[in-house]
Structure 1
Amino acid sequence: MATNNVKQIHDFGQSIWLDFIDREIIASGKLKKLIDEDGVRGVTSNPAIFEKAITSSADYDNDIKELAKTAANNEELFFGLAVKDIQQATELFKDVYTESDKVDGYVSLEVSPFLALDTEGTAKQAELLWKQVDRDNVMIKIPGTQPGLAAIRQSIAKGININVTLLFGLERYEAVTEAYIAGLEDHLAAGHKIAHIASVASFFLSRIDVIVDPLLEAKGEKALVGEVAIASAKKAYEIYKRVFSSERWKKLEAEGAKPQRLLWASTGSKNPAFKDTKYVEALIGPDTVDTVPLETVDAFRDHGVAANTLEGGLAEATATLAKLKDLGIDLDAITQQLEDEGIEKFNKPFEKLLNAIEDQKNK
């Protein structure tokens, strides 16, 4: 019997996490099946995923009515629902967490998107959610915005597992690695052990090409269409390897510290002209994570090709980004635009979700 295509990715040192959660996938056994048959090793969630889960089924109705009796507001009520889902999912990944020596088996829960530009509010809520979920294999998601950097450092310094989300640019990604390392140093300096702390940095891909590709086509550069996000990711991995082999890092590694792995996010193809497994296939390599939507897991299982692709073509990736500059396309400005839009993309479904909870309470 042929090896499952998704499972084959693990042979190259990459972990596949699922970018989806709802009560049905947990209760029906589908998530357990994905763990057992496809080797899925973690779950990520975000406000848009929860909005879809809660508004498109009746699975949450009874809990909404119950939590409405005690919750101070609809946001608190939402997190009551989400924490319950996250706790159930972490139970399913307990064996993965143990068998991987705490490298995988994590389920991520994001702070309120309304806090994306609020350092203090983010750090405070990250600690609150960490305590509420109360599971070793949870990660709290914090956006890698400029104000988010200090919150990331503070949270790591408290021993909290952090998934840094909404990363688009290389400069910001490197600043995130600094926040992680500084947070570990703070935790260690306070007299604590650091071997149990885990973190990933979620680098978003396909959205970059959605913005850049029309600009390239307008300039007649069709050969570069669909290549910029992958080139950026390869350069991010180059930064990862440099940062996590430095003398500074080796001191933490000697204390048991784990590198903050790069996680590829937004890996479903948004351009119908591209192969639906394009972004997954292009970035398979050691010590990384790829979080993929359910439909992309299904597609890769059916016709994906697993190979060690991440570390190849680095010279071409460098040339691609240099060519953008020559063409007058400002990637730094584009990645900042994507970050701003990304915050808005999570704010809107979160507002919709809170309104839906209000409606359900009043039924």
Structure 2
Amino acid sequence: MSALKAISEHGQSVWLDYIRRDLLLSGGLKKLIDEDGLLGLTSNPAIFEKAIGGSADYDPALRALVDGGQRDPAALYEQLAIEDIRQAADIFLPVWQATGGVDGYVSLEVAPGLACDTAGTLADARRLWAAVRRPNLMIKVPGTAEGAVAVRELIAEGINVNVTLLFSRPAYLAVAEAYLAGLEARLAAGGRIDGIASVASFFISRIDAAMDAEIAARGGEALALAGKVAIANARLAYEDYRGLCAGPRWQKLAAAGARPQRLLWASTGTKNPAYRDVLYVEELIGPETVDTIPPATMDAFRDHGQPRRSLDRGTADAREVIAAVERLGLPLDAVTTRLVGEGIKLFVDAHDQLLAAVARKRDALAPQAMPA
């Protein structure tokens, strides 16, 4: 059995953090589903920027759109992205059906510039949901304070949501509250809640990259914490999740058919070459979670990963790590706050670069269609 497929024996779903048209058309995605037990896919503006701007895969479709009279870069990108998402969702539809709607989802993000705009996020999410028209779509919404408000409304409307850019436990608990409130509002309005799905995407490796710099600057006793903070933070977030699921508020919703909002581990590729390249995958395997893994890390885990239930085996150690962080005055809260802003900027910049690349391709592929 593939080491990736073996992860599912411990209750975790493996999703792919990547999309590109040749993967869909070549049968590569279907092969990952069949051989590695892949159960879903996530995308973001940076992934689409590399896929569309960095390959010729989309040139024929782009030329056809331009020849049809479409020249706006944002509209061109969106039509290309929606087609990819639809194809991926169709490939995953049998997974969605076989798992009863637990897995088989494909995620598409709202415009990154709307991260602090509730009304804009709601409008964009509703528009994308209607445009893709797939039951196994998740709309990605940043987990900002404004995004949490949008999450509540979208869940109440029956739209599946992947809440992204979560770095801190308080931010996670805020979006978990939004999910519960959205389900309660829908139930109170007489709607069904048994077909709604959501994940809370909790970022991992970026935390260690930032905290390790703080730890190195502090030196001394703090050095023992290097490479440990992100995993500890995630393990305690998982403890928060289990506490929510054990509470009477959730139990009432579960009795009405609600699905839990699973934690999804994002940014699980190791950024520090001194660390094991599958560190964040191996140390965060546990029930009712998702890990969205980039291709290189997926290849590494397939080659030498060790699938084992690890997520809830080190909770006491995780508490000790975070207690040490607090005792030493290391700025975890400030770091996680900063990382949200950096994450938003990263996606905004990628989106801008993507639109510029689309415009260049448009001009090169069909110069005769452009005004003089």
Q: What's the TM-score bracket when you normalise by the shorter of the two chains?
A: over 0.9
Q: Give the C-alpha shift of residue 316 in structure 1.
A: 1.2
**Whole-angstrom distance in 1 between the partners of 2:134 and 2:186:** 19
- TM-score computed with the length of structure 2 as normaliser: 0.95
Q: What RMSD, in angstroms, separates the aligned Cα atoms of the two structures? A: 1.1
Per the alignment, in what secondary structure is the counterpart of residue 318 of structure 1? helix
Matches within 5 A, 1:143-154: 143-154=142-153
Q: Secondary structure at 1:11's aligned position in 2? A: helix
What is the alpha-carbon distance in structure 1 between the residues aligned to residue 361 and residue 327 of structure 2?
Answer: 54
Paired with 1:294 and 1:329, the residues of 2 have a C-alpha distance of: 33
Q: CA deviation at 1:72?
A: 7.7
**Structure 1: which amino acid aligns with 2:137?**
V
What is residue 127 of structure 1 aligned with on the other side?
126
* AA aligned opposite 1:358: A
For 1:247 and 1:291, how far apart are their aligned partners in 2?
30
Cα distance in 2 for partners of 1:76, 1:329 equals: 45
How many residues are matched? Answer: 361
Tell me which residue corresponds to 2:80: 81
Counterparts of 1:180 and 1:64, CA distance in 2: 38
* Cα deviation, residue 223, structure 1: 2.0
Contact residue 71 and residue 362 of structure 2 kept, 8 A: no
Alignment match, 2:6: 8
2:21 to 20, 23, 30: 23
Distance between the aligned counterparts of 1:113 and 1:71, measured in 2? 23
Change in Cα spacing, 1:227 to 1:248, as seen in structure 2 (3 Å) is same
Post-superposition offset of 1:205: 0.2
| 2:44 equivalent in structure 1 | 46
Of the structure 1 ranges 149-158 and 66-75, higher mean CA displacement relative to structure 2 is found in 66-75
CA deviation map 1:150-208 (0-9, x unaligned): 11111111100000000000001000000001111111122210100000000000000
The corresponding residue for 1:110 is: 109
Partners of 1:130 and 1:253 lie apart in 2 by: 25
The code of the aligned residue for 1:65 comes to: R
CA shift at 1:73, angstroms? 3.5
After TM superposition, the structure 1 = structure 2 runs for residues 270-281 of structure 1, keeping only pairs within 5 Å, are 270-281=271-282
Deviation string 1:318-350 (CA, Å, 9 cap, x unpaired) is 111111111111211110000000001111111
Paired position in structure 2 for 1:264: 265
Q: What's 2:60 paired with? A: 62
Residue in 2 that maps onto 1:162: 161
Q: Which residue of 1 aligns with 2:370?
A: none
Structure 1 residues 329 and 8: CA distance shift in structure 2, 3 A: same
Give the letter for the 1:119 counterpart. Answer: T
TM-score normalised per structure 1: 0.97
Which residue of 2 is the match for residue 231 of structure 1?
Answer: 232
Helix, strand or coil at the partner of 1:76: helix
Q: Please give the alpha-carbon distance, in whole angstroms, between the structure 2 residues aligned to 1:10 and 1:65.
A: 41
> What CA deviation, in whole Å up to 9, does each residue of 1:24-76 have, x standing for no partner?
11111111111000001000000000000001112212322333445583222
Aligned equivalents of 2:226, 2:37: Cα separation in 1: 32
Identity of aligned residues (%): 53
**Is residue 179 of structure 2 the alignment partner of residue 180 of structure 1?**
yes
Partner of 1:303: 304
* Alignment-mate amino acid for residue 269 of structure 1: T
C-alpha distance in structure 1 between counterparts of 2:359 and 2:149, whole Å: 33
Contact 2:266 2:291 in 1 (8 A): yes
CA distance in 2, matches of 1:357, 1:259: 39
